Structures are given as structure tokens and as C-alpha cells.
Amino acid sequence: MIAYLFPGQGSQKRGMGEKLFDKYTSLADEASEILGYNIRELCVVDEHRLLNQTQYTQPALYVVNALSYLDRQETMPKPDFVLGHSLGEYVALFAAGAFSFETGLKLVKQRAEIMGRVKNGGMAALLGLKMDTVRKILVENSYSSIDIANYNSAEQIVISGLRDDIISAQKVFEANGAKLYYPLNVSGAFHSRYMKEAEEAFATAVAHVHFSPLQIPVISNVLARPYEDGRIGELLTTQITSQVKWYESISFLLHNGVSVFQEVGPGDVLTKMQGFIAAAPMPAQVAGFTPVQPPVKRLEQLAPPEVKEDVITDELPAYYRQLIGDEVSEGDEPLFTAAHLGSAGFRKLYKVKYAYAAGSMFYGISSKEFVARMGRAGLLSFYGSKGKSLAEIEAAILYFQGLPSLPYGIHLWHQPDDASAEMALVALLQKHQVSVVEAGGYTTLSEAIVYYRVSGLVRGENGRTVIRHHILAKAARPDIAALFLQPPPEKIVEQLVASGKITKEQALMAVTVPMADDICAEAEGTGMGGRKMPYALMTVFRQQRDQLARRFGYQEAPRIGLAGGIGTPEAAAGAFLTGAEFVLTGSVNQCTVEAGTSREVKDMLQETGIQDTDYVPGDELFEFGARIQVLKKGLFFPARAARLYEFYRMYTSLDELDPKDRTQLETRYFGATLDTVFEELKQTLSQTTIASAMQHPRHKMALVFRQYFEKSMKAALTGDQAARLDYQIQSSSALGSFNEWVKDTPLRHWNNRHGDSIALLLMTGAAAYLSRFYNTALVARESGAMIPA
């Protein structure tokens, strides 16, 4: 996990923020208007030497720190925690969404003016003495007027009190072993009892401020623990007279798994202190340290419901009824059950209970255990074959075929760089008579997928064409959907006949069937080309389907389903209301017991919110800028993936890379020289691909850059802690909505989640939702009332 640290008073320096003011001109102008002076001139030039005066220092640091955070957001992962030292705490709260830039600056301006009016106080920094020793010296020398202001590290403490006492105490502390006693250039005894009037004045200002719920945990200076919503104003006010518990705050984060600390703002004071603290943190038991855990509610004491592995029933346990809000009165029959939703043709073709499928997740995240559990429950899912060897895929197929009457499919993906590998996979599917595949990543139809489809055509007893190789194709654009809605391309079919792969009779039958039985519209998911409105996408796909079905006179037209954003019953119900004939889920299944990824990744995913993902360039179709949706919270991968694509656009070869950029890539991204990466890569590439790379330097650059994606994916799958910040975790906002929905139940934890029970919840919940919706509509129609929004 990663934490951002925001420095406070003492880190200011002339020249700070110069480039930031040029980049964020509108915010700089807004700040100048609020403050009544030119903030850029103060920070960069400081002609009148005002920067070290409290009433100017605090607003200046707030502005520079806040702009530094906004700038950091563009390239760095979202932190897991934020905290600031004294004044820096306001920037931490801004970063966490407690208030706007403007509101924060107005608060800081008032705070600075109030504190700037305090006189006759003093502060001094002590080095080399532990807290017990400092307290003992104060007691034994009758310095009852001096308070501990900052507890920065084991042997770095700041004291605060009346100016004369602070000056006279210097000789005493130095005589008792202080390595350094450094009086600070301040006018007041900050963070001490002498700030009581300032605290009372500031409380009046804070009382009129509305604070929004925090989006990131903020560690309070006063508590050395995370803020609670509802106490922000109280704790900011108390902070003025209270000790800054920095040593305890950093120790708290260290004990709770934070391993990366990034200082955001001018200087490196906090970075240095963090190093000292990490070397000697407070013991875990001090001040009641316990790992941060989400609040446990009574419902979490219930055992998760058991779902039989051979069948799912529509008889819902009371626990499930509570989750989906099933309010059908006793004795009443619901208008819908899960088996009513979607296409009966889908259920019949795949021999499944629901018009529902779990999509493949690469590198075996859709593991054979996951697919088997789904199949035993009468549900369709697809093995994540991409990234697995042919031997591993074959072992999975044999495993599935060893289980009786198991519905399953295998992922078949486009491999334009290695057509022979794609054909080899199809040959394996043919060998074991695999009858269902999920097609993904296609921008054109390859010979391999056309061969798979057409070689499965046979003439039935009544002379009609029988399809034995079924394709569920995923598409995010109408042009890709059209590839699968039409019959196989005539040119490829002719090539297959000429090579003896298919018969002339199969070629004749191919004219009468579409390339796919089912098209899944990917409206918002982890794959390429998402971010489409589901209503618009579904409408276009259905119109295409209807037009092409009439044109080619299909015996049975392809069904149109929907994927993306389906993480709650309401979302599933919305898909069916939109006209989806089936739904396909993805991200919600990645955070389950059977999913083939690491515990570390599952721990991260169960905490994911809908705001914690982003679209970045992906491995597939990297050269075209195709994007995937990934987890961004606490990770470097999103920024680094974007940076690699930026380099790809800027340069035409690896040799053109700026030396600094190349060094950064080799040391931070790959851990090896780019030449070494390519030489190792050559061991896995076909001779055709190698020849193409040597002839086309830009293609070679893309192949090398794509190695970072593979490396980051494998690190996540294995839970490699050394590469944790580079984890590539493909996930969509559907998982965030699911997490929010089940947060007060046993399903909050991934080790209570299974793909089949998720399917049961989503489908049965959708049926209950639609039953309530239509019952409301019927009552409203009969009474002449409006349907409530």
C-alpha cells in the first residue's frame, strides 16, 4: 500500500511551485483572488520577504502542495492513505475529497491569520533525545509551561511554550545530551495550550463549512488514526492546540501494511523523518495498535449460504432474501423467476439453467476449478486460456470432459502476430471436440476462427444445416459485431476448401449461417473498446442483427447479450429491460475463491470502489491504442502503461529514446536493458514475428513494451510482493458496485464468494426486482396513478 505525505510549515522555500503555477493557471488565479495577493509572486519571487511569515506561509504551502497533488494524480496511483504534517493535513483532506480547493484555501487563510496574530510564543526542535527523557527534563527543571508540540520520530521532538522559557531551556537540554536544540522562527507557541484563543476563533470559522465524505482514509494528527466522517471540523479545530503525533501516525501505517511513502510538496523533510521512523517504529502494542479492519456488523457473524455444487434452486435462503430485498408476500407467486429472464434459446443451446454466462479471464483467472463449479451448478462459463500453454489448455479440457454433462467453453482469441499459434489452438479444440468457444480481441476474422466455425457444419437428416461449433463473440463496436453477424467471409472459406481443411459442402452451408450464435455487447468492461452506453450499443447491435438476419435468411438469428457494469441485481434487471437475451459477467468473478489469481490481488479487489478503476493502454492491440480497464488504486501500472504508449507514439524505434527515458524504463519498468528484454523475448517468438521486428523498428519497440504488460500481469497472478506496485489487475466498476452492495454481509470477504452463488444472487435478485417493478406498474395502471420514479 502507498501513502502520500504533505509537509507543513517549515518546508516553504522561495521558488517553490514555479512550474505548477504555469501549468495550473486558473487555480493560481483563483488562489490569488481569494488571498488578495499574487500567490505566484509570493512563492517564486518573494520580493518583500513575506514567505516565512505565518499568515503567508500557510496559504502558500497549501496552494503548492495541492497543485503538486493534482499534478501527481496524472502519473501516479491513487494512494491508500493520506496524511499531512500540521498545515499539511488540510491538503490531505483536500486530496481525500473533504472539500474543494477553494474551500480548503479559505479555511487555511483564516487559520493562518488567526495563528499569525499570536505573539510571545516560541518553539524549538530537539534531536537525540527520546520522549521519556524530554518529559523527565521538563519535570525536573520545572518547565511546566512547556508542552510537547510535535512527536516526529523516536528522537526528534518539538517543544512549544513561552518564548523566554524556550530560550532558557536550550542550555538545559544540551547539557542533558540533546544533539541539537534549534529554536524555530515562529511568533507563537503552536500546538500548545497557548493557542486556546486561536482554537476558539477558528471553531467559529469551521462551523460554517460543509465537509464531504472522505474518499481516501486520512490520518489525523490528533488521533494518529483515520478520520471519521462527521468529526473533520472538530479535529481540525482541536489540532491547533494538540500535539502532532507524527511518529505514531507513520508507525500506525507501517503496522497496517503501508510500504511506500511519497512526499508531495516542496522539500523532503517528511521523507527523511519517515526513514528514521521505519528504522525504529513504535511497537505494535503501543497506543492499542490493531490492523485496520472494516467495521464488523452483526450480519457478518452468519455463515455464508451453502450453494449445492450440482444444482441451483430458486428457493432462496432468508439471508439471500435480505440481500436482494425480496418482498413478495407469502402465498403470492412472483411474476418472474431467474429462469424466465433472457432467451430460452440460449438456455437450450448451452443446456444451462439461466441466460447467464461468466466470461473468460486471461491467464487462467477463469480457472478450471471456477469453470467446473459453474458447470456443476448448471451455468456456462469460459476457461481463461489466453496466456496458458497448449498443454495447460489441453489438461483443462480433459478435466472438464471427465465431469458428467458439464457446460463449459474455451476462450479463443485473435493472434495476428502468430496465426500459426491461433490455428494450433483451434486444432486442439477440434481434437477434443470442444463445441463452445468465446471469441475475443478480433478486429478482423482470422482463418483459424472461420475454420473452427465452418468445420463444425454438418447436414442434418432433414437437409438443414446443423451447427456443432458454437461461438459466443464479444464486441464493443458495431463493425466488429458485423463480422460475427454475417456468414464467414467467402475468400477465407475458399482458401480453406483449397487447403483441404473443409469440404465444398461445408462451404455451401457456410453461406447460410452467421459466424456466431451469440454476440455479447461489451458496454463497460475490462476489455478493449468499452465505455459505451449499453442502451445505445444494444439498440445498434439488434438493428444490425435484424437487418442481416433478413438479408441472409438465417434459420436462427444470433442472440444479443450484454456485458459490462453488471454487479448488482438492478444492473442485471436493467440489461434484460434493455432487451438483452443473456448477460455476461466478468470482474465480479475475479474476486472469488476459485478464481486463479493471488490472494494479494483478491484482498485488493474486495476493497475496490467504483471510482478505483481507469482505462489505460493494453497489451492486446497496443499499437492501435486499444484500452483496458484496470485497478488504479495504490498501483503504478496505470501510469506506466500510459507512459509506454506515449513513448510508442513519440518515437519510431528504441534507438530514438531519450537517454533519460531509456534509463528510467530499464531501471524502473523492466529491471533489465531493453536489448536484453528483446533477446529474451526472441526465445518465445515465431521466426516470422522476429523477422518483422527486425525489419520494422517500431514493431520491435511495441513487442518490447508489451513485455511490461505480461510481466505486470504475472506479478499480480503470483502475488509477487517485490513487484506489487506494478500489478496489472484488470477490473471494472461492476466489482465496485458489487462490493458496495454486499459490504454488510459475509460476502464482503472474497473467501466467502463463489461464481455460482454470485450468479444466483444477480439473477434471482433481478427477477425479484422486475417482479416488484411490474407489480408496481400494474397497480399504478389499475388505480390511474403515476408510476413512482
pLDDT, averaged per 10 consecutive residues of the chain (789 residues), comes to 91 92 91 94 92 92 95 81 95 93 94 89 92 92 90 93 92 92 86 91 87 91 87 92 92 87 91 88 60 34 32 43 50 70 95 96 92 95 94 95 92 89 96 96 94 95 91 94 96 96 96 96 64 80 94 94 92 92 95 92 90 83 78 88 91 92 91 93 86 91 92 91 88 92 85 92 90 64 44
Instruction: Answer for the pair 787, 780: CB distance below 8 angstroms, yes or no.
Output: yes
One-letter-per-residue 3-state SS of 35-87: HCCCHHHHHHHCCCCCCCCHHHHHHHHHHHHHHHHHHHHCCCCECCEEEECCC
* Cα 593 from Cα 370, distance rounded (Å): 8
Helix (H, G, I), strand (E, B) or coil at 470: strand
Which of 553, 543, 499 is CA-nearest to residue 519?
543
User: For the stretch 50-60, what's the b/e string if a residue is b when 16 or more beta carbons lie within 10 angstroms of its beta carbon?
Assistant: ebbbbbbbbbb
pLDDT score for 527: 52
> Which residue is associated with the grid cell 510481466?
711
Helix extents (H) in 651-787: 659-664, 674-682, 687-695, 697-718, 733-741, 755-783
Question: How is residue 208 written as a grid cell?
Answer: 460554517
> Which residues are designated catalytic?
86, 191
pLDDT score for 187: 77
Question: How is residue 292 written as a grid cell?
Answer: 485496520
Instruction: Answer for the pair 454, 430: CB distance below 8 angstroms, yes or no.
Output: no
* Cα 779 from Cα 772, distance rounded (Å): 11
Q: Is 304 exposed, middle or buried (0-12, 13-18, 19+ CB in 10 A)?
A: middle
Q: Is 285 exposed, middle or buried (0-12, 13-18, 19+ CB in 10 A)?
A: exposed
Residue partners of 285: CB distance under 8 A and separation at least 6: none
Residue partners of 536: CB distance under 8 A and separation at least 6: none
Question: How is residue 563 written as a grid cell?
Answer: 456485458
Cα angle 187, 193, 194 (rounded to 5 degrees) comes to 35
Q: Set out the domains of the chain in order of their start, with CATH numbers.
A: 2-116+192-288 (3.40.366.10), 119-189 (3.30.70.250), 351-521+573-586 (3.20.20.70), 608-741 (no CATH)
pLDDT score for 326: 47
Instruction: Answer for the pair 629, 730: CB distance below 8 angstroms, yes or no.
Output: yes
* Cα 717 from Cα 600, distance rounded (Å): 9
> Which residue is associated with the grid cell 469440404?
503
